[in-house]
A and B are shown apart, each in its own frame.
Chain A
Amino acid sequence: MVGAGDAARLGDAADGIVAGRAADGDEDAFGVLVRRYGAMMRASAARILGGVDEADDVVQDAFITAWQQLPGLENPAVVKSWLMRIVSHKAIDRIRARRPQTDIADEDPAASESNAPPRIVEARSELEALSEALSSLPEQQRECWTLREVSGYSYEEIAEELGIPVSTVRGLLARARRFLIVRMEAWR
């Protein structure tokens, strides 16, 4: 048995070692990954979901999936970005499950001043302003944008993840960027 003292030592090891032994079935090593990246994954999930409500669930699901799929991860040293992918994927799944299935391109409403929180200029900080701007983005634009800018997906990967054409992804991203830029310039 590996005791608590050893788990603490494992906490000093680089990702490749920790993830490698988690892949081999060492639960303590997996616990190290959960502690190391849980908060980061939750933050990312919350941004994609547009709130923290379901983020904990999504991260837990992501870890369960990660445990099952770890043996197939060829290079355990990249476990951090691999986990971020899984949690993004789970967050998208969650969003899909909670909205009726419609054609994603037809459904996307334009972001307008009317659905924006009033007096954005009063946001206390630039970060707060961005956070508010993001929350008033139409859902699909926010998904595309978060996958691109937070999770680091390529356009092709976003298209695959969301099941939409790359050209639609490009359009949604451009709209999201335009909206955010204008809003952030207004804040400045």
Chain B
Amino acid sequence: MSMSKFGDFNLRDKGANLWAGWDRPRRVVFVLATIAVVASLPFSGNFSFTNILNTPISSFQDVLVYPVGMFVLMALGLNIVVGKSGMLDLGYVAFFAIGAYTMGILGKHTHLNTWEILPIGMGLAMFAGVLLGIPTLRLRGDYLAIVTMGFGEIIRITALNTQKIGGPNGIANIPNPPSLKVPGVGVLDFNIMTPNSFFWLVLVLILLTIWMIRRLSARRPGRAWEAIRQDEDAAELMGVPTLKYKIWSFVLGAGVGGAAGVVYASKALFISPDGFTFNISVLILSCVVFGGIGNIWGVVLGGVVLAYLPERIRFISNARQLVFGLVLILVMNFRPDGILPRKKREKAPKAASESGVK
């Protein structure tokens, strides 16, 4: 495949080679240093050389939680479905909504706190994933895309028309998470004055998700997903239980979306169906494809760029969505595999990529 002048430049391969050459202590130091830098991002506004990162109008610390952190988390979850096993899901926002509404309803009407609701929200989202997955994952390509899109709309419209959960007004006064004692750091409070604690919470969730994906990718499920993505029929013939692994990837993705929803609701204190439109699904899919589909670091980068960019250019308030659209068109045209594409050897052969996303 001939590419443009810069097309063959693959930062991801360079990075992977570097990583492969390192011994264990060096890797540990590198990972810890990276985490430390990212975790100190909320303080970047205090220094003259980093305050260029600051977002006008909305507070930078809040932007780091939503949209940036949330989008990265959800993009990673969606990447399990779209990037790893190659199924086009246009209704990912449904799982986010299920998580958020679980938090809203249980948080207000029971004595459970956020930490107890988190597994419940994830569980419900995963259950919804199974319910949706079993009948629909036999469908392929664009048929799956529209059914998932429909599922996303069904969840939103149901929330909109059910007066018991607030209807169009949504749910207000959702409780914040209770304080958390972190050994060695102190007590982390979670309220409207402490966006940093939420950022670190989201960061922990992101790291856990990355860890989970990396573990699974190297093992049986990862290999099964790769086989399904490249050629589903061949995988089935080779004895891969394709439906089972497709449902698994769907359910894991749903769980991550549900977790994001729970945290979002307990940070935002208020949720309404307007926050869970089809546009969110499209945006998150854009993060995945824009950054580099199937590659964790690309997806993280895509989420960061696409969530941060509209906030950073808020001063041109009216035209910012226009700029966003132009960026999507330009980047996809000049780097169709995303900013940080997946490793070349993982790429599907041409024959399979023509039949495309299954």
Note whether A and B form a binding pair. no
The residues of B with any CB-CB pair to A shorter than 8 Å are none
Residues of chain A having any CB pair with chain B under 8 Å:
none
